[in-house]
Amino acid sequence: MAKPVSIEVWNPNGKYRVVSTKPMPGTRWINLLIAQDCRVEICTEKKTILSVEDIIALIGDRCDGVIGQLTEDWGETLFAALSRAGGKAFSNMAVGYNNVDVNAANKYGVAVGNTPGVLTETTAELAASLSLAAARRIVEADGFMRAGLYDGWLPHLFVGNLLKGQTVGVIGAGRIGSAYARMMVEGFKMNLIYYDLYQATRLEKFVTAYGAFLKANGEQPVTWKRAGSMDEVLREADVISLHPILDKTTYHLINKERLATMKKEAILVNCSRGPVVDEVALVEHLKHNPMFRVGLDVFEDEPYMKPGLAEMKNAIVVPHIASASKWTREGMATLAALNVLGKIKGYPVWGNPNQVEPFLNENASPPAASPSLVNAKALGLPVSKL
Ligand SMILES: NC(=O)C1=CN([C@@H]2O[C@H](COP(=O)(O)OP(=O)(O)OC[C@H]3O[C@@H](n4cnc5c(N)ncnc54)[C@H](O)[C@@H]3O)[C@@H](O)[C@H]2O)C=CC1
Ligand SMILES: O=C(O)C(=O)CO
């Protein structure tokens, strides 16, 4: 028998029981659930990562839906428990759902939600921040200053890389990868090389148009290239940012051999998922290539770093905060709650999960739909005509 976990209850007499495994930012998501007759139970347990047993205890004997977190292991055991409790809906408060076994959810007929669209720009901005911080050695220089080591301007002090005119490489040019590419191309006049399984047509058009604009103004135009292989990006780019999903095809995409093909002074940024990079190989590479720099938001064994990484001056490390802007985190909570609510109420699935603005408008009721259910097709759920 799993041990009980501490909870906070809203609207105790609500008809549907919805559990959130964590307190989430804002109150709109709670109010939207309450307005539709949900009893909302929020886990207030102090430990950061809940175990499967903790979540089983939270689900209990009767539960209509759960809003969970990317740190949790949503596999066969939890979907079986949710199904036994009468639950039909789960949503990650995240766009990535590599922590969810969607086949297991399908087996139990549980809808799986995620939160695309609302975190695209926020995440891309953090990737851009890490790119700049690495290029201009901002964290190293900040530490130097605070340590009282600055005793006057010097020609060689913290010399870094100029981005203008260099090449930015994007691996995984989906929503976030494309937004990041636009920031780096438009903001710093970098040329683009990208690799994705699909053509990023809108991104290509944007760079073409921006290049034409620069040329018309007497400036060097920016260019783009869709690489035929990931290795081409690694060889040619000066700054490389990783934005694919994590699956079997992207696990350890960046390994010892591939690191060796990158430029000695290249910058590597990872705001996707830690296991996309072989972190042990990365630490070795950083040790032997002091001019190679990385900006990491995600780690292979979160919350841990591989031995040696924390000591590397050429690494900038932040604790998985890429989507951490207030607007985005509140929006993620709203979308996750509406995914669960929509399935409970039997609403259809929103037709375009990339256009979620109508769900985020605080001054209007959200559409009667689940914003994004990744297994809608597998479960044969209807799609909204709105
Ligand atoms: N660090 C953080 O806080 C955040 C991390 N993420 C991560 O970023 C990922 C991407 O998010 P979105 O851009 O919204 O997803 P998306 O689905 O729009 O983009 C992913 C892209 O990766 C491409 N891709 C898939 N397999 C590939 C492969 N083997 N090689 C090259 N490209 C491949 C896809 O074709 C797609 O274009 C999420 O799945 C999540 O893991 C997302 C938000 C915040
Ligand atoms: O949404 C995701 O996938 C995250 O990593 C957190 O924003």
pLDDT in tens, 166-212: 999 999 999 999 999 999 999 999 999 999 999 999 999 999 999 99
Query: Is there a catalytic annotation at residue 175?
Result: no
The pTM assigned to this predicted structure is 0.97
Go through 317-340 and write b for each residue having 16 or more CB atoms within 10 A of its CB, e for each that does not. bbebebbbbeebbbbbbbbbbbbb
Question: Is 42 a pocket residue for ligand 2 (Cβ < 6 Å)?
Answer: no
Among 317, 332, 354, give the residue marking a domain's end: 317
Indicate the top mutation candidate among 69, 70, 374 to test ligand 2's pocket, ranked by most ligand atoms within 8 A of CB. Answer: 70
* 95 close to ligand 2 (CB < 6 Angstrom): yes
pLDDT for the residue numbered 314: 98
| CATH number where 147 lies | 3.40.50.720
Tally the domains of the chain.
2
310 and 355 assigned to the same domain: no
Question: Residues 243, 173: contact at Cβ < 8 Å?
Answer: yes
What's the mean pLDDT when you consider all of the chain?
A: 97
Same domain, 189 and 254: yes
Residues 262 and 183 in one domain: yes
Question: What is the distance in A from the centroid of ligand 1 to the CA of 245?
Answer: 4
Residue 248: predicted pLDDT = 97
Which residue has 């066969």 as its token pair?
A: 76
Domain that holds residue 38: 7-114+346-379
Does some domain include residue 207?
A: yes
| Distance from residue 97's CA to the centre of ligand 2 (Å) | 8
Q: Which atom of ligand 1 is nearest to the CA of 98?
A: 41
Active-site residue flag, 202? no
Catalytic site residue 302? yes
Choosing from 17, 175, 243, 273, the catalytic residue is 273
Check whether residue 371 and residue 306 sit in a common domain. no
Residue 4 pLDDT greater than 90, yes or no: no
The answer to whether the CB of 15 falls within 8 A of the CB of 37 is yes
CA distance 222 to 220: 7
Shared domain check, 291 and 164: yes
Nearest to 341 by CA among 370, 372, 381: 370
In a domain, 332, yes or no: no
ipTM computed for the complex? 0.99
